[in-house]
Structure 1
Amino acid sequence: MKTVTLALLVAALASPALASGSHSDGHAEAMAIGEPGKKAKATQTIRVSMKETEDGQMVFSPNDFKVRKGQTVVFAIKNTGELEHEFVLDQEDKVMEHKAMMAKFPEMEHDDPNAIRLAPGKTGEIVWKFTNDGAFKIACLIPGHYESGMHGNVIVAKK
């Protein structure tokens, strides 16, 4: 009986960690910021570097973007730093929720079309169609990186 109880306890405690270890928490459905885009329909490529600075800051360069509602954009992202970084694109409240989850599970792997984690020297891309206008965020949610300045803004203007 002790073995069964222990096994159930371990399973119950492990479930949140496993569930968040590689999450796609409904991002396949429509998001306020938009939806995954088709590269062939992209009208703009924005090159973004992620890095640390000599003064201890962590930055996206550039870190502020303006796009149009309905536009499909390719974010061509390169980690030019010496640490692993990520690029997460979402509403500010969702970014903050995700940041809190990352604090609990820092090794969380993303399986979301609006996020990418890159090792130093690596490149990747996110193709995104902005279906709604408004103010949104980009952020690195690896613990400590957001606090070190690794976030920015995406303004989506009406057509």
Structure 2
Amino acid sequence: MGNVAFAHGEKKSGSAAVVKEQTDWGIAGDAVNVVRTIDVSMGDDMRFKPGKLEVKEGETIRFRVKNTGKLLHEFVIGTKAENAKHAELMLKFPGMEHDEPYMAHVNAGEAGEIIWTFNRAGNFEFACLIAGHFQAGMVGTITVVAQ
């Protein structure tokens, strides 16, 4: 399958190479390094299931994200501050397209995937930053346990 992400509103496909940029919460991972897959569902109740995840520093995780709702949702990994800042921007510019390797935009009834290497310990979060969704509490936590 590979890294598939959708921009808001329209589907994009293609095999553009993922830009590997170190962030505070890790770096884009490679499928060959995946140690486990975590399934996460997100729905119109503005909740993720599960809402709390724990991974070990150094693990490369495949997140399989299923949208069980009728609305577009997204799964964005980041720091609490980074996601809050991005959510504010989304309120101001709801049509803003953004596409990073730590984001999966998933249309109703579909699934998306992110492969991410958690190479820094700490407390991070995943959130849906679509205007109103983040504000309604569509946020989960990721604890990265130091080796």
Range class of TM-score, shorter chain? 0.7 to 0.9
User: Counterpart of 1:134 in structure 2: which amino acid?
Assistant: G
The partner residue of 1:76 within 53, 57, 64 is: 64
Q: Give the corresponding residue for 2:73.
A: 85
Q: Give the corresponding residue for 2:103.
A: 115
How many residue pairs get aligned? The number is 129
Give the Cα–Cα distance (whole angstroms) in 2 for the partners of residues 28 and 111 of structure 1: 13
| Contact 1:110 1:116 (C-alpha < 8 Å) held by counterparts | no
TM-score (norm 1): 0.78
Give the Cα–Cα distance (whole angstroms) in 2 for the partners of residues 119 and 50 of structure 1: 11
- Consecutive unaligned residues of structure 1, counting only runs of 5 or more, are 1-26
- Consecutive unaligned residues of structure 2, counting only runs of 5 or more, are 1-18
Give the Cα–Cα distance (whole angstroms) in 2 for the partners of residues 50 and 93 of structure 1: 22
User: Counterpart of 2:38 in structure 1: which amino acid?
Assistant: I
Q: Give the corresponding residue for 1:5.
A: none
The partner residue of 1:52 within 21, 33, 44 is: 44
Query: Greater CA radius of gyration, 1 or 2?
Result: 1
| Contact 2:21 2:28 (C-alpha < 8 Å) held by counterparts | no
User: Counterpart of 1:86 in structure 2: which amino acid?
Assistant: E
Of 65-74 and 104-113, the range deviating more from structure 2: 104-113
SS at match of 1:97: helix
TM-score (norm 2): 0.84
- Aligned counterparts, 1:92-111, within 5 A: 92-111=80-99
Give the Cα–Cα distance (whole angstroms) in 1 for the partners of residues 117 and 21 of structure 2: 13
Give the Cα–Cα distance (whole angstroms) in 2 for the partners of residues 73 and 107 of structure 1: 29
% identical equivalent positions: 40
Give the Cα–Cα distance (whole angstroms) in 2 for the partners of residues 103 and 64 of structure 1: 25
Runs of 4+ in 1 over 3 A off after TM superposition: none
